[in-house]
Amino acid sequence: MGEQTQTLYDKVGGEEAIQKVVDYFYSELVLKDPTVNQFFEKTDMEKQRRHQTKFISFALGGPKQYTGASMAKAHQGMNLQPEHFNAIAKHPHDALAHFGVEEKDIDQALNKVNTLRDDILYQ
């Protein structure tokens, strides 16, 4: 019998674990980062956390399909620059590492995030 392939979603602990990562991501990293925290001043953070949990779950191979706005549409009018993207992209790494996710798994997850760069910048 062959070993079943485990998704990153399952490997990190599923939706409950991802919710903890997302909470840490926003409360301890993003909202304390002066490079990007101004983009969240008028954001409903509970809604944002739910949305981000679904997005990350989907990106890690979880069962829920992401049905939110396209990345270009979600970031329209924000005129995000490379320094903003880089700051935000660093925080998932640190949040996942904080919860003991292995570096190779973090790299795999962040590779998916990096494919969205062109849809997010300069919108």
Report the binding-site residues.
51, 75
Amino acid identity of residue 45, one-letter, is: M
Q: Which residues contact 89 (CB under 8 A, 6 or more apart)?
A: 110, 113, 114
Q: How far apart are CA 14 and CA 19, in angstroms?
A: 9
CB contact at 8 A, 37 and 84: no
Residue stretches of the annotated binding site for heme: 51, 75
